[in-house]
Every structure is written in structure tokens, then in C-alpha cells.
Structure 1
């Protein structure tokens, strides 16, 4: 398949001329462009696309733009087949390959810049939007707001894992790109997402804060609902997630007041206490001071046990999960502080 031709044609749109490119005016009457970034997981993407195709919004009033961050043949083929299936209904589906992998911020920028509509709807490739999602989101922006934040439902089992419980925090987020609507003019005025946020972490809060600081208005679209299932995760996944802590420093540098008001009022004192007690134990042991070393080590153990118990409080209690919590609780404070301080150095900001 010729990717350029597939993207330029825009399935479901009548071509106005043979020279129309990927950002032409084929769908000039579209009200909303739905931007879906993806990275090498076509199976959940197709579930999301099927839900988007089932909207109670007129098929000719919106387009779907799939931004493939690190394009692969399987995803491109899946999108092409889906586009062929829905083209008879007049629904436009476009595939935008992002040649240099940049993360979701860069992929979303590629999507909204290719959009042909004044309103941009953002969701993730593993969500399931409600049939009324687009209608509710467009209605929220019709009030004159610059952006709107929808409702994210995260289904959990009766006894979730720590990872599942942590992921459910998305349902309480003020503004998350898994379910957000933004005027294209506002995105253009701000330059879109900051592509220094190369992981799926805090790039949405950065956009939210930028809109607020520019004097924009953000409203809630409670009836615009997407379901966001928690994907299976490997054992010890929380250790790898600590790398995202560096982006806390970037967000704090850009929006210090809003960060303290809406994200975190202060540093993670427990983490610092755990790290400090272990360092004291090591220094005392190297200096030959056994009693202070033992006392510091006991303090480290007590603080770590407190942290582990807090993670287990509302999660499942089977032996493998308890073992995972015990092991990762010993390492998370050190990794988190390392990445926080590394971010502070990288982005040149005093951030503890």
C-alpha cells in the first residue's frame, strides 16, 4: 500500500482535485477531528476505532486521524482495512505516520496539525469512547470554552493490583488527553504540546496549564465518557515507571505555581527519608560505627515497610503480589529521587 496515497485520499471524502494533499480541504465541512496517537498495538486500536465509528455524531461531521508514532506495517494495514470498511458511510479515516518516534506529545502534534476541523478531540488508542462522546464534547466547546475535559472510566477488579489501582487515578485527573477537546486555534496559538515530554506523563497537564495561563477557559464535559481499560503489565512494572519522574521537574519549571496548587504541594518526604536513612546506615557502617548504622538500617526498614503497607492497603493480597510490592518498595524511593534530581539538573530548575 502507498502510505502517501492512502493518507492523501482521506477515505470517505470526495476529492476536490488531484493535487489535494494530506492537509487539504477535502473535509472542509468537518466539525471535529479526532486525533488518536498509537504505537505498535493494532488490536486495541481497532477496538477504539470501532467505538469511534459508532458515534451518534454525523459521519460527515468528523474525521479520525491515526498518528502512528514509529509506524509499522501491521498498524498501517489495520487502519487501511478499517478505513475501507467505513468509507461507504462517509466517515473519513486518515493515517499519519510519524517518522521519528517522539512520544505521544509529538504524535498528537502531528495529528492536530494535519486536522481539517476547528475542534480537536484527543483520545488514546486503548480507550473505548461512549457513542455520545463526540456529541457531548462538541457541545461543551460550543459554550465558547477553549478546551473541555471529559470523563474517564477505569474499570477495576474487586481486588486490584497496585499497578491497576495507580492507573485508575486517571479517572480523577483534571485534564487528560485520553479524553480532551481543544480548539485548533488555541493549539496553534500555543504551539501545541511540548515535545520534550517524550513519555505519556504530564504533557496533558502542561497543555492544561498553558491554556489557563494564556487566559483560556477549560470546562468539564461530564457526559463525554471514554472507558480506559488497564492494560496487563509485567512483574515489577512500577520500577520502570519511575523514569517519568524527570518530567515532574519540567512541568514545575514551566508552571511552578500551578504545579504546587494542582499537582504536588511539596517533595515526597517519605522517599527522601528512606533514601537518607539508607545513606546514613552505609556511611556509619563504613566509618565503623555499628550502633548508629544498625539504628539507621532499622529506620530504613520501618519506613520501607510503611511504604509497602500503604501500597497493599487497598490492593490484592496474594503471595506473588505481596512479593512484588516488597521488592519494588525497596527500590522505588531511590529510583524516583534519582529521576527527579536528574530532571532538575536536565531542565535547570531547583526541584526536590
Structure 2
């Protein structure tokens, strides 16, 4: 007999230390162990995670826990799909391997759901950051104010089937949660905020210049825009990143001046580039740490980001065949 009322799906890959903390929190849920299950899906072969889960399964026999692994890396969207499709609960809750759910997380979602309701839920996510955060920490803290994130949400399995789950073309952890949210909105599914369903999302340590690497994710903005143009402009980005275009245009004008040996072109282009770049650096530093290391990171990355961001945005526009600037 299946007594499972709610299933938890966690995508992961090669982060067993973080996953261990998440599993420990889920094992402490104030809910009967036979009423929920934990489904961990590795995004590709992962021996470290497999060993961790085998240990959990052997030692925690009273806990309903399953482990699956995708044959190849496909991204968290694909891992989540595999998880919820194998779920036994009427409700499916999603979180990430670097999150720590509150003891009442699952019971809060269960109390908010009535069988058969065409609804979805989003909880309260807390991101602890210092008073003077780094740019990376400040950006991550924005998750606290997001409408709908897969670090803390819950959907009836029937609703997930109705909307087709996650779009697996989002192969990185970027915009797949917004796509799910927009599909729910388009299908008339009410998204209910459950303040008592709380999750802590610590900020992972990041290497110097991590924002440069993150620009590759920008290509998925084009895919999200193609699928939901009106909602994208309303909830994600109301207008194109004109500041970036001005910075690139100024640099291009200065370069043309160098080629043509035109001092006026070099001067005008250089002033445009320097003005907008300086403003960008100042904005990023205004509410963040003022250490020498962080200031140098903001200067260097602010010079590089506009070029990489627009490159990947246009790459996405070509790849997904959509007019997106």
C-alpha cells in the first residue's frame, strides 16, 4: 500500500558534502517517515554521490529514499523530470542539494494542499549573507525575492504532467524555474505563497571572477523569451541591456579610430566606453565589499562582462531562432 503523500526531488552532481546536509535536514522533517520519500537524481555518473546514497539507504531503513543517475549530463531540468516521473506522492516538492529545508517544510506544503486543486506552491527562501557581501553573494541573495524558484517549490504531480514538466533544453541551472512558472501561469494554475515552507539557501564559495563564467547562462534568456515573450519582459527584463550595447559600441568606435588613426573617434569612443564602464563598476560596488581583492574583481569583470553577455545572448538568439537583443 502506498502511503506516500509528498515526494522530494533533488537534482545533484558531484557535491556529496552539500547533499549530506540537505539529506540530514530532510530526515528531520516533522512528518511520519512513511508519508514522504526523498528522490535524489544525479545529473550523470557520479560515484561519490552513489556511495553517499548507498550509505543512507542502508543505515536509514525507516526513511524512504531512492537514488537514480542519468546516463549522461543533461542538466538539472532533466534530472528533476526523471525524479518527479518516478515519484509516488500526489505532491512533488523540489529543492537543491545546497539547500537546508526547515523541519516543517513538507508539512507546511501538505497543509496548504487540497486534493484535486489546480495549484502550485512556492515557499520562503532565506539566503544568509554578510553586511558587506561580495557581488556573487549579493546576486545569490536575490533568490529571497524571486516569485518562484526550484530551490523551494511544490506542485501536484498531475499539474506537472499537464504542463509537461521541465523543458530539458535548459541544460544549465538558469531560467528553467522561470519557464516552469510561466507554463503554470499560462495554464491558469494558481501559484500560492506558503510562508511557513522555509528553506535556507547558503551561498556557496565561488572562485575569483565567477561572474565571467556565469555569462554563458545568458543564452537561455533567448529560449525563455522565445517561449514567453510577454512574461519575460514583465517579470525578467523589461528592456534590452542598452548599457552593455553602449559600452560595446564605445569600444568599437575607439577601435575604429585606432584603425583609421582618427584622434576624435578614439576620444569619443573611449569616453563613451569609460563612462558607461565606470558607472557599471560603481553600481556593482555600491552595496558590496570594498576589499582590494573584490574591487579588483569588479573592475576586471565589469570590463569583460558586457562583451561576453551580449555574445552569449546573440548566440542564444541564433540557436533558438528568435529575434532577441
**TM-score > 0.5, shorter chain as reference:** yes
Cα displacement string for residues 229-275 of structure 1 (whole angstroms, at most 9, x for unaligned residues):
00000010000000111011100000011111111111011111101
* Superposed counterparts of 1:5-84, under 5 Å: 28-84=2-58
On the 8 A contact 2:256/2:265 being kept in 1, the answer is: no
> 1:348 deviation in Å?
0.7
Alignment partners' CA distance in 2, 1:115 and 1:153: 27
- Residue 299 of structure 2 corresponds to 326
The reply on whether 1:225 has 2:212 as its aligned counterpart is no
Residue 99 of structure 1 aligns with which residue? 71
Post-superposition offset of 1:146: 2.1
2:214 is aligned with 1:241: yes
Moved more, 74-83 or 59-68: 74-83
Runs of 4+ in 1 over 3 A off after TM superposition: none
Q: CA RMSD in A?
A: 1.1
Gaps of 5+ in 1: 1-26
Contact 1:145 1:219 in 2 (8 A): no
Question: 2:111 maps to what in 1?
Answer: 139
Q: What is the distance in 2 between the residues matched to 1:85 and 1:141?
A: 32
Gaps of 5+ in 2: none
Deviation at 1:32, TM superposition (A): 0.5
Q: How many residues align?
A: 324
Cα-to-partner distance string for 1:10-60 (whole Å, 9 max, x where unaligned): xxxxxxxxxxxxxxxxx6220001001100010110100000010011110
Q: CA deviation at 1:142?
A: 2.7
Tell me the TM-score normalised to structure 2 length. 0.97
Which of 123, 130, 154 is the equivalent residue of 2:95? 123
Which residue of structure 1 aligns with residue 188 of structure 2?
A: 215
SS in 2 for 1:29: coil
Q: In 1, distance between residues paired with 2:113 and 2:169?
A: 28
Alpha-carbon separation, structure 2, partners of 1:83 and 1:230: 28
Residue of structure 2 aligned with 1:337, choices 310, 313, 322: 310
Output aligned runs, 1:185-334, within 5 Å.
185-334=158-307
Distance 1:59 1:183 in 2: 20
3-state SS in 1 of match to 2:60: helix
Deviation at 1:118, TM superposition (A): 1.2
Distance (whole Å) between structure 1 residues aligned to residue 72 and residue 90 of structure 2: 26
| Aligned equivalent of 1:159 | 132
